Amino acid sequence: MSRKVEICGVDTSSLPIYKNEEMRQYFSALQNGDSEAREKLVYGNLRLVLSVIQRFSHRSENPDDLFQVGCIGLLKSIDNFDLGQNVRFSTYAVPMIIGEIRRHLRDNNPIRVSRSLRDIAYKSLKAKEELITETSKEPTLREIAERTEIPEEDIVFALDAIQEPVSLFEPVYQDGGDPVYVMDQVKDTRVSDERWIEELSIREGMLDLEDRERLILKNRFFNGKTQMEVAEEIGISQAQVSRLEKGAIKQMNKYFS
């Protein structure tokens, strides 16, 4: 039994599945003005939209909203599909659906981006798609700049501005075990819990020292001075500095045991 999933009032378990030959027949009928064929193509490919919006499941967006936006991409795909091209409809439609959803997410990005920046970004993305179609390879930044007549630095700035915020808890890899999240790849090891506790212990230990001992440790280990320089600064011998330093370090060690 197929599992029933309802989205936007559509029972997905009842959606038809067409073979490639049937799809071509419906497209031929559509190009001859058969509006019923268009409706059949829509319902026969709603599963494509469902599969695409699953890629955005980590987002906080309403699935119904994404489904409706994806359907707009599907309709555009159906209206622009060329039977003369030797590609399956799904191969053509999926990037169109993804592009429509990404455009929606960019336009509704909580981080507000100026209209001029968005225009530069969209113009650059359009030029990139055209160049890929023409050359079958990823264009360079210079090629995009030449096509759009926009300075390279403006393109980079605009494309960075429209990037979607990424959750630190978004999984980037999972192979049967524990997932790897974005935060695992970008975390700053200099500000770990262990280091924070360590620094807190140092501060507490320093507070328990005598003023002269605290000054010696500060100059020796934070200001990088030699024992001789410290001795001259506080007016005692280098041997006394060495003895006080060892005593202070010994006292500090209890905070790390």
pLDDT above 90: residue 211: no
For tokens 């010994």, the residue is 250
Q: What is the pLDDT of residues 6-50, one digit of tens each?
A: 555 666 667 777 887 888 888 889 888 888 888 888 888 888 888
What CATH number does residue 200 fall under?
1.10.10.10
Query: 176 in a domain, yes or no?
Result: no
99 and 26 fall within a common domain = yes
53 and 42 fall within a common domain = yes
80 and 137 fall within a common domain = no
104 and 52 fall within a common domain = yes
Q: How confident is the model at residue 4 (pLDDT cuts 50, 70, 90)?
A: very low
Copy the structure tokens of residue 208.
């328990």
Query: 214 in a domain, yes or no?
Result: yes
pLDDT above 90: residue 254: no
1 and 40 fall within a common domain = yes
Query: 173 in a domain, yes or no?
Result: no
Query: 140 in a domain, yes or no?
Result: yes
149 and 209 fall within a common domain = no
136 and 229 fall within a common domain = no
**What DSSP letter does each residue of 120-180 carry, written as one string?**
HHHHHHHHHHHHHHHHSSPPPHHHHHHHHT--HHHHHHHHHHTPPP--TT-EEE-SSSSPE
- Mean pLDDT (whole number) for 126-152: 88
Give the pLDDT confidence score for residue 11 in this predicted structure. 64
Give the pLDDT confidence score for residue 2 in this predicted structure. 42
Q: For the chain, what is the domain count?
A: 3
- Of the two residues 186 and 226, the one the predictor is more confident about is 226
pLDDT above 50: residue 241: yes
Residue that is last in its domain, among 121, 146, 163: 163
15 and 48 fall within a common domain = yes
105 and 117 fall within a common domain = no
85 and 2 fall within a common domain = yes
Our CA dihedral for 49, 50, 54, 59, rounded to 10 degrees, sits at 70
Give the pLDDT confidence score for residue 3 in this predicted structure. 46
Give the pLDDT confidence score for residue 236 in this predicted structure. 92
Is residue 73 within 8 Å of residue 96, measured between CB atoms?
Answer: yes
What CATH number does residue 45 fall under?
1.20.120.1810
- Of the two residues 126 and 168, the one the predictor is more confident about is 126
pLDDT above 80: residue 76: yes
- Of the two residues 158 and 114, the one the predictor is more confident about is 158
pLDDT above 60: residue 191: no
157 and 194 fall within a common domain = no
Task: Give the residue numbers spanning the domain of 96.
Answer: 1-109
